[in-house]
Amino acid sequence: MKTLQITAIALLASLTALAQEKQQDTTSVETLEEVLIQSVRVKADSPITHSNLSAEDIEKRNLGQDIPILLNYLPSVVTTSDAGAGVGYTYIRVRGSDASRINVTLNGIPFNDAESQGTFFVNLPDFSSSVQSLQLQRGVGTSTNGSGAFGASLNLLTDAVSEEAYGEIANSFGSYNTRKHSVKFSTGLLNEHFEISGRLSNIASDGYVDRATSDLKSYFLQAAFKDNNTLIKAITFGGREETYQAYYGIDAETLATDRTFNPAGLYTDEDGNIQFYDNEVDNYAQDHYQLLWNQRYNNNWSSNVALNYTYGRGYFEQYKEDEDFETYGFEPIVIGETTINTTDLVRRRWLDNDFYAVNANVNYKDTSWDISSGLFYSLYDGDHYGEVIWAQFAGGSEIRDRYYFGTGDKSEFTIFGKATYRINDQWSVFGDLQGRFVDYKADGTTSDLIVLNDEQTYEFFNPKAGASFQLNKSNQFYASYGRANREPRRSDFEQDIFTAETLDDFELGWRFGSPNVSVNSNLFYMNYQNQLVLTGALDDVGQPLRETSGNSYRLGLEVDAEITILDNLKALPNIALSTNKNQDFFFSRDGQLTNLGNTNISYSPEIVAGNAILYSPVSNLEIGFLSKFVGEQFMGNIDSEVSKLDSYFVNDLNVNYTLTNIPFVREVLLQGLVNNIFNVKYVSNGYFFTFDDDFSNPPAVTTVEGAGFFPQATINFLVGATVKF
């Protein structure tokens, strides 16, 4: 780590040398839209490490790729895609923590699935086109709703009420037959109080990987009432996705010879020929209904009440060969002296769930105090079941007979209070107390026919505190501490893991601001007890498996900056250096339980760096050159060379040009994006597995290791045009 520390210090020194003494004025008047999410967001000068993106920032690369891909250039962020081109199933990691450990809220309502804790933006295609702003808090962050943030929290605020009527038509096309079509509108304020707005979108792609197709549809509809002190919104949004499965990955040999090969759907016909089932798809729909009421009573007091209902349902379909009758409850077929008890079949595994949530917050603010407190309650009801829709032989069965059925019921109650007190012009302090109470019950049988009958109750107390010091107009320092606790998810229950995780997060930061340079830097130390780390292995539906690592930690430095080199040229570099260790990690190798000492935490590169160079040679034209470096990482926790992902460095070229003074339209935005412009063959994700085998005579246990890889697209492009009326 000495080399990494020296690199960080050198970078920090060079950024500081460019700085001049003047602080940017960040004071702004809080709007009613901001009241909606003030309980889960933080201010620019708070002692919480965070990054913000506006709708204008998002729009620059919004050509059909999913939200995780659009966040790729933020500090400590690593992204990947099953299909390889950023459309379909995409994933994000922050500080080495996967998306199931990143708390995501939409208008303050949890988006993480209550059971799997995952965030599947594929269910909300083109949602980025309806986002007004987002904030990514790294580390524990401030108290939020839903499962605790163990790597980061991401809050998205949907479109604000527009006072003026508008319409937009956006179309984009690109490599792998990728295309996006969307229409968007607003009535503007009718009678000075009412607005109706909406969006319809369709995104499709063949994917970089063979047959990794995506057909994604989504909608957003909002009705709003607004006056000086009241904002009421009724919002419904959702989507339907159908994606050909691409979560199997490929081995190292196939990666070298046929990197787009997709084994999903492979079977052998009666003549021994290899075929691919044409409907090996994931098919899921999700609808969200939100009612939001923001009220400002005077200059000091405001409140927010939110109601939510989410309905999700869908399945993934598989062709399976030589399946045992017993697994599916089929009766053996006896023909003469022949007994048939295996069959080829097509099965669907279903998830059908309902999620209800209510959230109420009140805020008091004056020149010294900013105090928020609130309550949150949610209820989740999920059904898991499997059915056979076709079988070559199906003794004593009917179509769509269920061969397994399980339920998951989860309720959560949260109460919090947080306050910021400005002692004087230099000092302010922050305190945050949260109590979170979770009941979860898993019942029935799993897809592996494992019987579940588990019920657990978790009670968590999550304190947080921090302080900010304004040295002068240019320099601010902050320190914070936060604790988070997190319950296991359904797949953990299936492995008899019931112990909750605990994280203590310490952050120490410096912010610098001048007319030409701004710098954000922070040191972090994240200390975990019973951290559930990814083993590297996947279950039979492509979801990562986890194991308890005992004690572990992440220690690192993050620096990001915005440097104005010329009036029309700026750079936005960032770098994250970290060491991420399991302490006294035990592993069973060759039949012997061994203490491996300190090992690297899976999927946690020591270096993640990004940069954007933005150049505007003429008015209304911006050219962006975007770079991302991700250091090598292990996909398991035993530091096996088999599990290593190589480092990669990729670059994108982004061009935006706005046409104005065109008859009958307000403006036309022309966009171009060339991804991986230097045609790098890289892998950003994969899996690692071990198993014990008996080769020898006499028998001896030998541990076998293997790995799979998810290749990402080589050079590819997207071009688009948005006509705004």
DSSP string, 165-209: -EEEEEEEEEGGGEEEEEEEEE---BTTTEEEEEEEEEEEE--SS
What is the structure's pLDDT at 534?
Answer: 94
Please tell me whether residue 8 adopts helix, strand or coil conformation.
helix
**Contact yes or no for 237/288 (Cβ under 8 A):** yes
Mean pLDDT of the chain: 92
Burial of 697 (0-12, 13-18, 19+ CB in 10 A): exposed
CA distances (Å), 596 to each of 510, 601, 639, 672, in order?
37, 13, 9, 49
* CA Rg value for the chain: 26
388 φ/ψ angles, rounded to the nearest 5 degrees: -100, 125
Angle at 402 between CA 401 and CA 407, to 5 degrees: 155
Q: Is the pLDDT assigned to residue 694 strictly greater than 80?
A: no
Compute how many other C-beta atoms are within 10 angstroms of the C-beta atom of residue 434: 25
What is the structure's pLDDT at 671?
Answer: 98
Q: Average of pLDDT values for 358-373?
A: 95
Q: Is the pLDDT assigned to residue 11 strictly greater than 60?
A: no
Q: Kindly state the tokens that stand for 92.
A: 């994000």
- Report the distance separating Cα 158 and Cα 165, nearest Å: 17
String of DSSP letters for 43-81 = -TTSSS-EEEEEHHHHHTT-SS--HHHHTTTSTTEEEEE
Identity of the amino acid at 201: S
**Contact yes or no for 149/137 (Cβ under 8 A):** yes
State pLDDT tens for residues 367-389. 999 999 999 999 999 999 999 99
**Contact yes or no for 70/61 (Cβ under 8 A):** yes
Q: Residue ranges of the domains in the chain?
A: 2-724
Angle at 522 between CA 102 and CA 560, to 5 degrees: 85
Compute how many other C-beta atoms are within 10 angstroms of the C-beta atom of residue 227: 10
**Which strand (E) or helix (H) includes residue 257?**
helix 252-257
Burial of 194 (0-12, 13-18, 19+ CB in 10 A): middle
What is the structure's pLDDT at 400?
Answer: 82
What is the structure's pLDDT at 699?
Answer: 64
Q: Is the pLDDT assigned to residue 65 strictly greater than 80?
A: yes
What is the structure's pLDDT at 4?
Answer: 41
pTM to 2 decimals?
Answer: 0.92
Paired with 569 in beta bridges are: 566, 615
- Report the distance separating Cα 67 and Cα 57, nearest Å: 12
Superfamily of domain 2-724: TonB-dependent receptor, beta-barrel domain (2.40.170.20)
- Report the distance separating Cα 481 and Cα 508, nearest Å: 9
Q: Kindly state the tokens that stand for 364.
A: 């008091």
Q: Kindly state the tokens that stand for 466.
A: 């921090």
**Contact yes or no for 347/400 (Cβ under 8 A):** no
CA distances (Å), 589 to each of 47, 276, 545, 559, 693, in order?
44, 37, 19, 39, 11
Positive/negative CA dihedral, 28, 30, 31, 37:
positive
Identity of the amino acid at 706: G
What is the structure's pLDDT at 395?
Answer: 83
Q: Kindly state the tokens that stand for 57.
A: 């920032």
**Contact yes or no for 302/35 (Cβ under 8 A):** yes
- Report the distance separating Cα 532 and Cα 492, nearest Å: 9
Closest-CA residue to 313 (of 347, 357, 354, 279) = 354
Q: Kindly state the tokens that stand for 402.
A: 């269920």
Q: Kindly state the tokens that stand for 696.
A: 């020898």
CA 628 to chain centre: 18
State pLDDT tens for residues 476-493. 999 999 999 999 999 999
- Report the distance separating Cα 290 and Cα 357, nearest Å: 9
30-39, 145-154, 201-210, 444-453: least confidently modelled range: 30-39
String of DSSP letters for 492-516 = HHHTT--PPEEEEEEEEEEEEE-SS
Q: How confident is the model at residue 396 (pLDDT cuts 50, 70, 90)?
A: confident
Identity of the amino acid at 656: N
Percent of the chain having pLDDT more than 90?
85
Q: Is the pLDDT assigned to residue 115 strictly greater than 70?
A: yes
- Report the distance separating Cα 140 and Cα 527, nearest Å: 11
Q: How confident is the model at residue 30 (pLDDT cuts 50, 70, 90)?
A: low
**Contact yes or no for 346/326 (Cβ under 8 A):** no
**Contact yes or no for 454/408 (Cβ under 8 A):** no
- Report the distance separating Cα 433 and Cα 460, nearest Å: 11
Pairing label, strands 102-106, 152-158: parallel
Q: Is the pLDDT assigned to residue 453 strictly greater than 60?
A: yes
What is the structure's pLDDT at 13?
Answer: 40
Q: 265-280 in b/e burial notation, b at 16+ Cβ within 10 A?
A: beeeeeeeeeeebeeb
Burial of 50 (0-12, 13-18, 19+ CB in 10 A): buried
Q: Average of pLDDT values for 175-201?
A: 97
Q: Average of pLDDT values for 136-150?
A: 89
Compute how many other C-beta atoms are within 10 angstroms of the C-beta atom of residue 2: 6
**Contact yes or no for 219/237 (Cβ under 8 A):** yes
State pLDDT tens for residues 304-356. 999 999 999 999 999 999 999 999 999 999 999 899 999 999 999 999 999 99
What is the structure's pLDDT at 32?
Answer: 76
Q: How confident is the model at residue 17 (pLDDT cuts 50, 70, 90)?
A: very low
Q: How confident is the model at residue 701 (pLDDT cuts 50, 70, 90)?
A: confident
What is the structure's pLDDT at 561?
Answer: 97
Please tell me whether residue 558 adopts helix, strand or coil conformation.
strand
Q: What share of the chain is helix, strand, coil (3-state, %, to 5)?
A: 10, 60, 35
Q: Average of pLDDT values for 407-414?
A: 97
